[in-house]
Amino acid sequence: MEAPISSCIKDWMIVPLSQCGLGIPSFQNSAESFRLQKRNALKNSMNENLRDLYADSTKANINSDALLSKQPFKLALKTQKKQQVDTASKHFLELESQGQIARAVIDQIPGKQISNWSKSLVNLSGYLFNFTRKAIQSQLPTFSNLHKWGRASSNLCPMCGLIQSNKHVLSNCSSNGALNRYTQRHNKALSILIEWLSQNIATGMKLFHDLSLEGSNHVTDLFRNLRPDIAILTSSKVIILELTICHESNFIASRNYKINKYKDIQNHTLEWIKHLPVSVFTCEISTLGFIVMDRRFLSACGLRDLDNIWMTKISKDVISSSFDIYMARNS
């Protein structure tokens, strides 16, 4: 995993997939489960001497026996596992730095989607897997962390002069080099969304977008001044989808910014569609590939949710781009 020495490895691994962890029980957890099984076998043995051994040794096995005294074995095992996971999750998510992104993701993304995201990571190259797992705990060796760990004399970004945190590198650096790489990442994700929409919108709907793709319709055919990422034209309305690649802690702020930016887009429509109402919706994709799609957009277009294949495709592409951005953080 190449995690730094300060990482809370045990808790991080125990935390379930649905909470951005690895879902792997520790040796201590496994030992506790085996002990519970052994205590249950002693308690219910056909041999009276073994049952006596269970009774005589209760003082040394208080936790296990307390679970068995209140409920059947299978339920006790389930309760024990929940207690183990809850303890690890509470500790991990309360960590000021390492738990910050996980807390933000859990607030915005359904647990099932987080689990699918976690499972998709195992198909990444090892270096991308390690990068993603360290990034989600803000433990990449940026100058901010290296300075904190006593491995760098400065915590400042050599590109723009601000503190070079994980968030700064992946989404907030204002240097021209970083901004160009952010745009490339955005456009790669946008092209995948355009491909998905072109294959799934109903006949009679016309797709416009803000990329220069041969044989496609550009949004400048619909609007002046403002150029949304995607617009779908029907006989009765115009539906806009605005994409943002944001840091995991900025889902809500990014959504609100785009809604406010395009609130008056009706005033920017060209004459030939002036009579059509325009609706604006957003899609946020985080720097590590978590996706929040406004369900009202899907409903307005008569679309189903993005399936796991398309979501995984987008996530992998964004993660790969974010890794490239990270690798070029100082140049």
Q: Tokens for 280, please give them.
A: 């604006």
Element (H, E) at 283: strand 278-286
Q: What mean pLDDT is reported for the chain?
A: 95
Mark whether 188 and 317 lie in a shared domain. yes
- Mean of the pLDDT values across residues 217-238? 96
Residue 8: is its pLDDT beyond 90?
Answer: no
Predicted structure pTM score: 0.91
Is position 113 within any domain?
yes
* Helix ranges restricted to H, the chain: 9-14, 27-43, 48-56, 62-70, 73-94, 100-108, 111-121, 126-135, 143-148, 166-167, 176-200, 251-261, 295-301, 308-327
Is position 4 within any domain?
no
Q: How many domains does the chain have?
A: 3
Is position 163 within any domain?
yes
Distance CA(303)–CA(316), nearest Å, equals: 23
pLDDT at 214: 85
State pLDDT tens for residues 97-147: 999 999 999 999 999 999 999 999 999 999 999 999 999 999 999 999 999
Is position 3 within any domain?
no
Is position 215 within any domain?
yes
Q: Are 280 and 240 in contact (CB under 8 A)?
A: yes
Is position 226 within any domain?
yes
Q: Are 177 and 187 in contact (CB under 8 A)?
A: no
Residue 4: is its pLDDT beyond 90?
Answer: no
pLDDT at 279: 97
Q: Write the CB contacts of 71 (distance below 8 Å, at least 6 apart in sequence).
A: 79
Mark whether 149 and 236 lie in a shared domain. no
Is position 327 within any domain?
no
Q: Sign of dihedral through CA atoms 28, 29, 30, 33?
A: positive
Q: Tokens for 174, please give them.
A: 């204002």
pLDDT at 317: 98
State pLDDT tens for residues 61-86: 898 999 998 899 999 999 999 999 99
Which range marks the domain in which residue 183 is found? 178-321
pLDDT at 103: 96
Mark whether 149 and 194 lie in a shared domain. no
Mark whether 206 and 308 lie in a shared domain. yes
For residue 44, which amino acid is it? N
Distance CA(331)–CA(74), nearest Å, equals: 57
Q: Are 118 and 17 in contact (CB under 8 A)?
A: yes
Mark whether 287 and 229 lie in a shared domain. yes
Q: Sign of dihedral through CA atoms 145, 148, 151, 157?
A: positive
Mark whether 218 and 313 lie in a shared domain. yes
Distance CA(217)–CA(205), nearest Å, equals: 12
Residue 302: is its pLDDT beyond 90?
Answer: yes
Mark whether 159 and 184 lie in a shared domain. no
The strands making up 230-233's β-sheet, listed across from edge to edge, are 217-218, 206-209, 230-233, 238-246, 278-286, 291-293
Q: Tokens for 281, please give them.
A: 């919706």
Axis-axis angle for helices 111-121, 308-327 (nearest 10): 60
Residue 326: is its pLDDT beyond 90?
Answer: yes
Mark whether 201 and 242 lie in a shared domain. yes
pLDDT at 215: 84
Mark whether 118 and 146 lie in a shared domain. no
Distance CA(225)–CA(223), nearest Å, equals: 7
- Mean of the pLDDT values across residues 236-249? 97
Question: With 0-12 CB in 10 A as exposed, 13-18 as middle and 19+ as buried, what is 316?
Answer: middle
Of all residues in the chain, what percent carry a pLDDT higher than 90? 92
The per-residue b/e assignment along 293-309, b for 16 or more CB within 10 angstroms, e otherwise, is bbeebbebbebeebeee
Mark whether 43 and 119 lie in a shared domain. yes
- Mean of the pLDDT values across residues 249-271? 96
Distance CA(130)–CA(132), nearest Å, equals: 5
Mark whether 304 and 317 lie in a shared domain. yes
Mark whether 39 and 76 lie in a shared domain. yes
Is position 83 within any domain?
yes
Residue 318: is its pLDDT beyond 90?
Answer: yes
